Amino acid sequence: MRKTFKANNYLYPQPVLVITSYDKDKNPDIMTAAWGGITDYNQISIALSNHQTTENIINNRYFSVSIGTADTVVSCDYVGLVSLKDDKEKINKSGFTIIESENNIPLIKELPLALECEAIEYSNEVLKAKILNVNCDESILSNGEIDPSKLNAIVYDPINHTYLSLGSIIGYAFKEGFKRQ
Ligand SMILES: Cc1cc2nc3c(=O)[nH]c(=O)nc-3n(C[C@H](O)[C@H](O)[C@H](O)COP(=O)(O)O)c2cc1C
């Protein structure tokens, strides 16, 4: 027997994307988004409704998308609960520290992996952006490459509304399937 749940957005799991942007006066904002993903080699798309972050990105095309981590789960959830429109102290209370990339794009010191992005289009509440650069703190590298065991990324479970950490490697992509040939 199988059970059905009607039409629901039960894609599992979803990422924890932490978007950092500036308004026109360079005041930073940070928000969490789980409805997003890579839609081309150097393109990310995120479903963004009416937030301070959305206004910022429409006015100032450059922003970053960091990956939420286990160490920072409270801060990642906080910036998804509170809008800067409602609490001007949001960033001070968040536990995150704003730093800037060489491209003058705002980043979060506590999140070691970020995509520096430029908005291409915002329509029907979907933001499409070009990935300009991958910005990574050296602390999560092993032999010069990004090491997921050091990053400690979290994912979002949209069914149970929980954050989960990633497990260990269970297979090698583009290789395991050859065992069926
Ligand atoms: C786990 C989680 C996922 C979220 N995903 C999205 C999303 O994909 N798109 C969106 O528009 N809002 C999403 N939100 C809501 C925004 O993060 C939230 O409204 C935030 O307060 C906006 O902040 P701002 O107005 O300061 O930009 C999510 C919140 C949480 C906690």
Q: Where are the domains of the chain?
A: 14-180
**Of all protein residues, whose CA lies closest to atom 6 belonging to ligand 1?**
33
Of 9, 18, 29, 32, best ligand 1 pocket probe by most atoms within 8 Å of the beta carbon: 32
Structure token pair of residue 178: 């050859």
Contacts of 37 (CB under 8 A, 6+ apart): 14, 15, 44, 45
Please report where in the chains the tokens 């960091």 appear, as a residue: 66
pLDDT tens readout for residues 47-96: 999 999 999 999 999 999 999 999 999 999 999 999 999 999 999 999 99
Is the CB of residue 105 below 6 angstroms from any atom belonging to ligand 1? Answer: no
Centre of ligand 1 from the C-alpha of residue 22, in Å = 16
- Whether 93 is in the pocket of ligand 1, judged by its Cβ within 6 Å, is no
Atom of ligand 1 nearest to the CA of 51: 25
Which residues make beta-bridge pairs with 121? 128
Burial classification of residue 65, based on how many CB atoms lie within 10 Å of its CB (0-12 exposed, 13-18 middle, 19 or more buried): buried
What gap in Å lies between CA 66 and CA 52, rounded to an integer?
18
Residue nearest to atom 30 of ligand 1 (CA): 80
> What distance in angstroms lies between residue 48's CA and the mean position of ligand 1's atoms?
8
pTM, to two decimals:
0.98
Q: Whose CA is nearest to atom 18 of ligand 1?
A: 80
Q: What is the CB neighbour count within 10 angstroms for residue 107?
A: 23
In this prediction, residue 133 carries a pLDDT of 98
Is residue 48 lining ligand 1, measured as CB closer than 6 Å? yes
Domain 14-180: CATH superfamily is Electron Transport, Fmn-binding Protein; Chain A (2.30.110.10)
Q: According to the model, what pLDDT value does residue 167 have? A: 86
| Predicted local distance difference test score (pLDDT) of residue 137 | 98
Q: What is the DSSP string of 97-157?
A: -EEE-TTS-EEETT--EEEEEEEEEEETTEEEEEEEEEEE-GGGEETTEE-HHHH-BEEEE
Which pLDDT value is given to residue 119? 98
User: Which stretches of the chain drop beneath a pLDDT of 70?
Assistant: none
Q: Is 156 in the pocket of ligand 1 (CB under 6 A)?
A: yes
The residue type at 105: I
Helix (H) or strand (E) holding 36: strand 36-40
For residue 64, what is the enclosing H or E element?
strand 62-67
